[in-house]
Amino acid sequence: MGTDNYYSVKEDVQKYIDGCKTKMNVRTHKVFGRAVLAGMMIAFGASASNVAAHAVTNVGLSRLVAGCVFPVGLMMVVLLGAELFTGDCLMAMGNAEGACTIWDLIKFLFVVYVGNFVGSILLAVVNVISGQLNYSSGLLGAYTIKVAMGKVNMSFGQALCSGILCNILVCAAVLMAMCARDIVGKLFACFFTIMLFVVAGYEHCIANMYYIPAGLIAARNQNYVQVAMDTYGYTADQLASLNLYGFFVKNLVPVTIGNIIGGAVLGLILLYLHGYDKKKAA
């Protein structure tokens, strides 16, 4: 059993399953609104992590710096009750326990995914218009292009596996935050686990809805492109790979599939290990 400070894993799993039933009764427009909010929050974290890391040349240190900033996005999602697609992949537990049908789950996840996309894209556009990418004489804009380039040039297998590993950690963070009974505990649960996935360089489909569109927009600015060529050695032919095909087909599709697998597998494993035994209960 849990204590005054936290719920046990068994209690946490049941609490999440009960929450699935509640989510199925929320009106679609409210689910969509919460999803847009979550997309913006994750995009805020992604944007700030780029700012923090863009001038750090050491790769490991750069990832560590980004990892210390990005988790704020998930903290806001958790504390403000927003709907994040990657975390909601845990709802496979609810489906397995009869809290929702597979069709209702698919519809719910679709609405959340679209809402996250809208929120992330909106933040990316407004961020670029704000002039943020001009930091360091356009180096932030060039770095934004670099980040996007790395994502659209992964193989399908790389993106898929990276997505699986990412969402194991993201969903672990969500459940750990639910275990905590106080705000500080929830924040710590989010921070360290999400920092781990960022430092490791795993792929998060909703974060990529900011990173890649921001890179696509930045690539239309010749100043940012020139700085990217001078700083990172890109050629015009290489930069041509940063396009909508690369965004959707080479990254978003495999990463999304990987995120679904990672979240669902973690949820079902925890359900098997810590779910209530119905036979004993009977």
Tell me the pLDDT tens digit for each residue of 27-40. 999 999 999 999 99
Cβ count within 10 A of residue 81: 9
Report the SS3 class of residue 203: coil
Domain assignment present for residue 21? The answer is: yes
Q: What stretches in the chain show pLDDT beneath 50?
A: 281-282
Domain assignment present for residue 1? The answer is: no
Cα–Cα–Cα angle for 106, 107, 113, nearest 5°? 85
Domain of 211, CATH number, reads 1.20.1080.10
Domain assignment present for residue 2? The answer is: no
pLDDT at 140: 99
pLDDT at 2: 56
pLDDT at 275: 85
Q: pTM for the whole thing?
A: 0.96
Domain assignment present for residue 100? The answer is: yes
> Residues for the chain: how many in total?
282
Query: Please, are residues 114 and 35 in contact by the beta-carbon 8 Å criterion?
Result: yes
Domain assignment present for residue 247? The answer is: yes
Domain assignment present for residue 282? The answer is: no
Task: State how many domains the chain has.
Answer: 1
Domain assignment present for residue 19? The answer is: yes
pLDDT at 218: 98
Which domain range does residue 226 map to? 9-131+138-275
Domain assignment present for residue 95? The answer is: yes
